[in-house]
Amino acid sequence: MTTNSSAARALAPPPPVKSQPARTVETIDGMCRIPRLDLMRGGRLHCVRVAWRLVGPKRAPIVVVLGGISANRNVASDQGKRGWWCDLVGRDRAIDTNRYRVLSFDWVGGSGGSSGPVPGSFGRQSFPAVSPDDQATALRWILGQLDVKRIRGFVGASYGGMVALAFAARFPQCLERLIVVSAANRPHALATAWRSVQRRIVRLGLTSGAGDQALSIARGLAMTTYRSPEEFDARFAGPATADEGFYRFPVDDYLEARGADFVNRIVPESYLCLSESIDLQDVDPDQIRTPTTLVAVRQDQLVPLVQMRDLARRLTDRCRLVELESLFGHDAFLKEKDALTPVFNEALAGELS
């Protein structure tokens, strides 16, 4: 089933999220310790730490929420700290923490509270390749620690969507509903090519002692793939200005700012690990039996619409495909609150048609 969301919104605004009776929402931070993690690509990690957060009322159904490689366990705003997906996760939001307990975790291989590469360890092979399947296994360990046999839903966007698909294929008995935004069962070859160039930039920087600068440049390049050509042209078309013998263009400040912000949140070695992990995705859709909602963005350059349609076709009648129009392209999951709210509400609360 394909839904043209932009056409629907032209007829009527999305229904408001129904407020739930006030309940005590608690935030619990925890650490899962995995004695040994045998990785899908042949490596092995010992004494793995996985930092997780659970937000919501006691005994409420659990919904796992995961995002891109720069996301972390701070999904909903808490104690004055803004969550990275607070427009969609929180009290009276689409994923309502009055109604659900939201579980998220820091990526294995990242720069958060979970185990990851040691800064400065590039070239020493100190951290093996981690796939989305391995992140799914880490989540299974967390659920075991919490004594949770089955979760209400898994909402994954971008890299988190890849992990969600891997989890659904490996642990179908643990999952009731699957909601995947802008992620497919395998990486698109052109997207892999873009990320490969970004990783080469970072590796070159690390070997020359300029890892942070290289990471900033790579992130700037990545930003050109996250948004649509139409958005870039609308925001940054304009004349160049001379600056100390060089010309600067309207887009330069934006790309440099996004690169500098990224360097403050992730170390180059972790970026290499997680970027590579995206391109190690390999899920057989025939193994997924969970009722699934896929959300595709027609302007997404990284996960083309044709790829999402093919995944929906392979999931057959178990799947509903929602197609959105958005100038934000792959980043639509961070920007299109009004379009995603009714989709999440229906997928989590109602039966799929």
Catalytically annotated residues: 158, 300, 330
Tokens standing for residue 265 = 């949140």
In angstroms, the Cα distances linking 334 to 71, 157, 242, 306, 338 are: 11, 9, 34, 22, 11
Q: Are 262 and 268 in contact (CB under 8 A)?
A: no
Tokens found for residue 85: 């997906």
Q: Are 102 and 95 in contact (CB under 8 A)?
A: yes
Residue 213, both tokens:
């600068």
Residue 107: phi and psi, rounded to 5, are: -60, 140
Contact criterion met (CB below 8 Å) for 105 and 138? yes
Residue holding tokens 């302007």? 299
Q: How do 62-66 and 95-96 pair as beta strands? A: unpaired
- Do 160 and 333 touch, CB atoms closer than 8 A? no
Using alpha carbons, select from 125, 65, 139, 124 the residue that is nearest to residue 96.
65
